[in-house]
Amino acid sequence: TERKILLDSKTCLSLVRDIFNTNHFVQLCGIVIDEVGCGTARLHMPIVAEKHTNLSGNVHGGALSTLANTAVGVACCAAGCWVATQSITTNFIKNITAGHTATCEARIKHCGRTTVTVVAEIFDDEHRLMCETIATMFIKGHSDDIPSEW
């Protein structure tokens, strides 16, 4: 019998932040988890010249991909899934420079037995779309503390 867990977004946010605060790469990038729902996440990353920009002074595509991949993982975590990236595709539309903030919103589109498909969008300070991501994640396990539905 599966144990029924009652969870609200504030409690889940605290649990997910505690989990991702142990990820040194997320911390190094300065990624902040702002909000979660069951299978959704909103994160932001202030763009710092010394960390996130390329030779032309724009945010590096890898930094945006990292933000998207992290948001995808957080959305899965908020649905009780421990995951690893199987594939991820990001289409870049616009870019920003240091001093601005990139915000990513991710949501699960499909959760199967062994994989999860998640879409993510990254926006600039004025909520203009910067890039779109779709990811397929391997399910490696399930959380004892966060249910798949809440």
pLDDT, tens only, 74-116: 999 999 999 999 999 999 999 999 999 999 999 999 999 999 9
pLDDT digits (tens, 9 = 90+) for 122-149: 999 999 999 999 999 999 999 999 999 9
pLDDT digits (tens, 9 = 90+) for 28-84: 999 999 999 999 999 999 999 999 999 999 999 999 999 999 999 999 999 999 999
Residue 36: both structure tokens together: 């979660």
Burial of 11: CB neighbours in 10 Å, binned 0-12, 13-18, 19+: middle
Q: What is the pTM of this model?
A: 0.94
Distances (CA, A) of 108 to 48, 112, 134: 29, 11, 10
